[in-house]
Amino acid sequence: MKREEMIQRLQQDHKTYDFIVIGGGATGIGIALEASARGYSVVMLEQSDFTKSTSSKSTKLVHGGVRYLAQGNVALVREACVERGLLTENAPHLVKNQSFIIPADGLWDEIQYTIGLTLYDVMAGSLSLGRSKRISKAKALKRISTFNPDKLTAGVLYYDGQFDDSRLAINSLQTAVEHGAIVLNYTRVTGLMKDKRGKINGVEVTDEELNKSFPVSGKNVINATGVFADDVLLMDNPKNRKTIAPSQGVHVMLDKSFLPGNDGIMIPKTDDGRVLFAVPWHGKVVVGTTDTPVKEASLEPVALDEEIDFILDTAGRYLARAPLRSDVLSVFAGLRPLAALKENNGKKTKEISRSHKIFVTASGLLTLIGGKWTTYRKMGEDLVNRVEKTNKWKHIETKTKHLKIHGFQAKVDLNDPMYFYGSDKDAILQMVAENPSMGEPVSEKLNIIAAQVVWSVKNEMARNIEDFLARRVRCQLLDARESMRIAPKVAAIMAGELGKTLKWQQDQVEQYEEVTQNYILH
């Protein structure tokens, strides 16, 4: 994952790639992984950093979606349960089995949730993560000592997957690169190239670091830009109408004392008819989410006060000690690419379901939207199948079902603060052994050492301090203030690696503080 090498390859190869994927979020990454694993030539282009947008702001669940089951969307749940099982097998260093307890209020709740979740287990078949069951109130309170005892008559225990979204992205990209893919951050697609018949045959790219543009030729161009899909559709045809209606989801991060054990909480009925999760994550607790329609898509959406209040109020009702605004370590927002697609008769609009959709324009631009992180592999599989069919290429069976993701390690010690590096951890420790200054703490509070910064530059394409603090490690989400405190230290180490000036360091810290102010509650 060396940016300079990849950009050079791209400019010198003068090759027509089988796939050009626009967008480096979960969707684009799933496609790049599947296509490269099948042996196709692939370029994936991300305008900012990988997962800068929605794909770093998820609830961190690898799940079938209990909520979708309640809505009767059996096929979606079944597909996601299978993918959940495959991910726990392929990336055990990043995806773990997470127990949840639902606070049930009354006999009807107890029966309903126990039956529903048993069905959820059945759907996963042999890939089930554990059997759901009703547990007594006393047992529930023993497991989650911070439950408000007045809010439950019993608990329903069930299991789902939990992961680190941006780390799965980086490791999946490394896997794609190991299969020959070119993946680049800070490369924006600014236009689509077409042949004489009006068919798309490439893209115009701008290297955002050098402000230099160049063309890349491809047989298939894939729009995997999530909430930004309309911008690319407009590049294809300025008459294309708006298809995406972004909806914002917010999370707050709390100290582990709010949920001290290993279990998460799922609150099944909130005032807005959604569910609320409180999930242990990297020694803290993620709580969310919301569903707020927003007008504009943005790379840095900002949480609204009413969303934060809603999360804190709802969680506060179920916890013995209600979290206050002053308890919030970080708050972050992501955008769902929900779509209001006009039906053929042009009268009705309907929300695209959470299952993914592939559609193709007259000029051959393929767009993949919807879905979720959990199904990123399946989305890649479906898209590549579709391309093979459209091009009348010989079908190659999927190669990703049992593909081990970079860093794979069967045995994982979750108490090790560096567990999420998987098999890469040894190489990081080797750096410390060779140069003890690499072992110096950058943040004792968040267990970060200098070697991790250097590693991210050398092997994970981190280009600036936000890439590191927000997405190579998760300091920005885990404790925004602490991440700002260590920003100058990170800038100094990175500057050494990247050959940057003191002015660069100062600018970096300033820019990071500006963005991260939105993650802090004042």
45 binds ligand FAD (CB under 6 A): yes
Count of C-beta atoms within a 10 Å radius of residue 300: 14
Positions 297 through 326 that interact with ligand FAD (CB under 6 A): 299
Which listed residue (249, 264, 301, 364) binds ligand FAD by CB under 6 A?
Answer: 249
166 binds ligand FAD (CB under 6 A): no
Which listed residue (46, 121, 307, 381) binds ligand FAD by CB under 6 A?
Answer: 46
246 binds ligand FAD (CB under 6 A): no
Interacting span for ligand FAD (CB under 6 A) from 42-50, 316-324, 383-391, 476-484: 42-50
59 binds ligand FAD (CB under 6 A): yes
471 binds ligand FAD (CB under 6 A): no
Residue type, 488: P
Which listed residue (3, 38, 60, 472) binds ligand FAD by CB under 6 A?
Answer: 60
Pairing of strands 357-360, 366-369: antiparallel
Contact 251, 286 (CB under 8 A): yes
Interacting span for ligand FAD (CB under 6 A) from 24-32, 127-135, 474-482, 511-519: 24-32
Where do we find the tokens 């050492």?
449
| DSSP bridge partners of 101 | 157, 265
38 binds ligand FAD (CB under 6 A): no
Cβ proximity to ligand FAD: between 371 and 422 the closer is 371
22 binds ligand FAD (CB under 6 A): yes
Count of C-beta atoms within a 10 Å radius of residue 273: 8
172 binds ligand FAD (CB under 6 A): no
Nearest Cα neighbor of 14 from 36, 41, 46, 32 is: 41
| DSSP bridge partners of 102 | 156
Contact 84, 77 (CB under 8 A): no
Interacting span for ligand FAD (CB under 6 A) from 18-26, 338-346, 397-405, 425-433: 18-26
24 binds ligand FAD (CB under 6 A): yes
Cβ proximity to ligand FAD: between 374 and 483 the closer is 374
23 binds ligand FAD (CB under 6 A): yes
Distance CA 395, CA 393 (A): 6
189 binds ligand FAD (CB under 6 A): yes
Interacting span for ligand FAD (CB under 6 A) from 44-52, 430-438, 441-449, 476-484: 44-52
Least distance CB 435 / ligand FAD (angstroms) = 34
223 binds ligand FAD (CB under 6 A): no
Which listed residue (334, 364, 407, 422) binds ligand FAD by CB under 6 A?
Answer: 334
Distance CA 95, CA 171 (A): 12
Count of C-beta atoms within a 10 Å radius of residue 243: 18
Contact 362, 240 (CB under 8 A): no
Contact 440, 112 (CB under 8 A): no
**Letter string b/e over residues 403-429, b meaning 16 or more CB atoms within 10 A of that residue's CB:** bbbbbbbeeeeeeeebbbbbebbeebb
Distance of CA 464 to the CA centre of its chain: 19
**Letter string b/e over residues 318-342, b meaning 16 or more CB atoms within 10 A of that residue's CB:** bbeeebeeebbbbbbbbbbbbbebe
Least distance CB 166 / ligand FAD (angstroms) = 10
Total interface residues for ligand FAD by CB under 6 A: 40
323: left (phi over 0), alpha (psi -120 to 50) or beta: beta
Tokens of 9: 């390859």
Cβ proximity to ligand FAD: between 54 and 505 the closer is 54
Cβ proximity to ligand FAD: between 48 and 114 the closer is 48
Which listed residue (19, 20, 25, 120) binds ligand FAD by CB under 6 A?
Answer: 25
Interacting span for ligand FAD (CB under 6 A) from 147-155, 208-216, 225-233, 423-431: 225-233
Residue type, 520: I
Which listed residue (226, 268, 380, 407) binds ligand FAD by CB under 6 A?
Answer: 226
In degrees and rounded to multiples of 5, residue 175 shows phi and psi of -65, -45
Least distance CB 137 / ligand FAD (angstroms) = 28
Positions 358 through 387 that interact with ligand FAD (CB under 6 A): 371-374
Distance CA 343, CA 3 (A): 43
88 binds ligand FAD (CB under 6 A): no
Which listed residue (225, 398, 456, 516) binds ligand FAD by CB under 6 A?
Answer: 225
* Contacts of 444 by beta carbon, 8 Å cutoff, 6+ apart: none
Where do we find the tokens 């920003």?
487
Q: Assign 11 to helix, strand or coil.
A: helix
* Contacts of 153 by beta carbon, 8 Å cutoff, 6+ apart: 104, 105, 106, 107, 109, 110, 137
Which listed residue (3, 28, 40, 380) binds ligand FAD by CB under 6 A?
Answer: 28
Positions 445 through 464 that interact with ligand FAD (CB under 6 A): none
Least distance CB 134 / ligand FAD (angstroms) = 25
Contact 46, 28 (CB under 8 A): yes
Least distance CB 176 / ligand FAD (angstroms) = 14
Least distance CB 514 / ligand FAD (angstroms) = 18
Pairing of strands 292-293, 61-62: unpaired
48 binds ligand FAD (CB under 6 A): yes
The contact set with ligand FAD (CB under 6 A) reads: 22-28, 45-48, 52-55, 57-61, 63, 188-189, 224-228, 231-232, 249, 289, 299, 334-336, 371-374
